[in-house]
């Protein structure tokens, strides 16, 4: 019986982390942070290549 309780709590933790991560992703998209992250990524890649 202890195994069932452990599995239920484990499933609850997994789904709560999933819901939190999805909400953070949606919040970042809503705040238009995707554009900022892509700009920084492009600059870093260009600097590594030696163009930027």
Contact predicate 44/36, CB 8 Å? no
40 is in which domain, residue-wise?
2-49
Mean pLDDT check: name the lowest of 16-20, 22-26, 41-45.
Answer: 41-45
- Summarize the confidence of residues 38-50 as an average pLDDT: 87
Give the residue with greater pLDDT, 15 vs 47. Answer: 15
Max Cα distance, the chain (Å): 62
- Summarize the confidence of residues 4-19 as an average pLDDT: 87
Quote the Cα angle for 33-35-40, to 5°.
95
- What's the number of domains the chain is made of? 1
Q: What is the pLDDT at residue 48?
A: 85
Q: What is the pTM of this model?
A: 0.59
Q: How confident is the model at residue 46 (pLDDT cuts 50, 70, 90)?
A: confident
């Amino acid at each position: 019986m202890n195994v069932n309780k452990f599995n239920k709590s484990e499933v609850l933790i997994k789904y709560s982390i999933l819901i939190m991560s999805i909400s953070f992703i949606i919040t970042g998209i809503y705040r238009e942070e995707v554009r900022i992250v892509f700009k920084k990524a492009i600059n870093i890649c260009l600097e590594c290549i030696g163009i930027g």
